[in-house]
Amino acid sequence: MQSAPEWSQQRGFGIRVEWGRTGAAAIGVGAVCVVVVDVLSFTTSVSVAVGAGTAVFPYRWRDESAREFADRHDAALAVGRRQVGTAQPWSLSPAAIRRAPFTERLVLPSPNGSAIAAGVSDATVVAACLRNYRAVADWLIARNWGTSTHPIAIVPAGEQWPGTEVVRPAVEDWLGAGALAAALLDRGATDPSPEARSAATTFTSIADVPALIATCASGRELAAIGFAEDVALATDLDADRTVPILVDGVFTAQRPS
């Protein structure tokens, strides 16, 4: 991909926020850490899975290549939400992952959050969501990250408009990014970009985040197809102390220092 223009990179700021894979490429320039936020549901599923001791491999495509990838890594493969069965009980649904039998290794395909995570090559990658944003903030602050010399790139994944690869900005991911940015600022991080400050202000200004997400477009979409439980799990604020870190292509659990 062509290098992002300098004005888009939010250089000089300790906390940066931008949307999707293109945004990650822009604000990831010089960042020590890229934090992926895909609340409904990739990073929530990662948080639930690694909190139970499962190592999670992000993978962009849900096709035959995903099966081959899982076989190469001796891992179970997550299928589409409505394809879950006895033989394949894991999916992108965090509720399904919680109910499924324990597996040591899981490939989790996702065109949004997984694709962003797998596309980063020169920074630490963390999976954040509304369940673990305070734990992630503690872990980052313990490393003295979130300054102009050690910047953090927070990437709300967004969704894709049906039948396209066009990013649909998703309110749940903006709130997830804002929750993390606000927690970092509360812990003494400095120099947020205007985008990061705006995301943080949005999160702190909403009295009932779970109710808002339940009635936003993505929340209604999941409820309409029978997955309202996923929305409830994803909006259980600060329920996890797990910090999923991507090392050698696989997310495993860390705890705040």
So where are the chain's domains? Answer: 12-250
**pLDDT over 70 for what percent of the chain?**
99
What is the model's pLDDT at position 26?
Answer: 97
pLDDT at 37: 98
At residue 2 the predicted structure's pLDDT band, cuts being 50, 70 and 90, is: low
3-state SS, one letter per residue, for the chain: CCCCCHHHCCCCCCEEECCHHHHHHHHCCCCCEEEEECCCCHHHHHHHHHHCCCEEEEECCCCHHHHHHHHHCCCEECECHHHCCCCCCCECCHHHHHHCCCCCEEEEECCCHHHHHHCCCCCEEEEECCCCHHHHHHHHHHCCCCCCCCCEEEEECCEECCCCCCEECCHHHHHHHHHHHHHHHHCCCCCECHHHHHHHHHHHHCCCHHHHHHHCHHHHHHHHCCCHHHHHHHCCCCCCCCEEEEECCEEEEECCC
Going by C-alpha positions, the residue among 7, 23, 5, 22 that lies closest to residue 154 is 23
Q: Supply the pLDDT for residue 181.
A: 98
pLDDT, tens only, 29-87: 999 999 999 999 999 999 999 999 999 999 988 788 999 999 999 999 999 888 888 87
**Distance separating alpha carbons of residues 51 and 221, to the nearest angstrom:** 26
Q: In the chain, what percentage of residues exceed pLDDT 90?
A: 86
pLDDT at 1 over 60: no
Cα–Cα distance for residue pair 44/110, rounded to 1 Å: 12
As a whole number, mean pLDDT of residues 249-257 equals 88
Q: What CATH class does 12-250 carry?
A: alpha beta
Tens of pLDDT, residues 156-210: 999 988 888 888 999 999 999 999 999 999 999 989 999 999 999 999 999 999 9
Note the pLDDT tens digit of each residue in 115-147.
999 999 899 999 999 999 999 999 999 999 999
Is a pLDDT exceeding 50 seen at residue 237? yes
Report the pLDDT value the prediction gives residue 251, as an integer from 0 to 100.
98
Residue type (1 letter), 215: T
Model pLDDT, residue 190: 87
pLDDT at residue 102 tops 70: yes
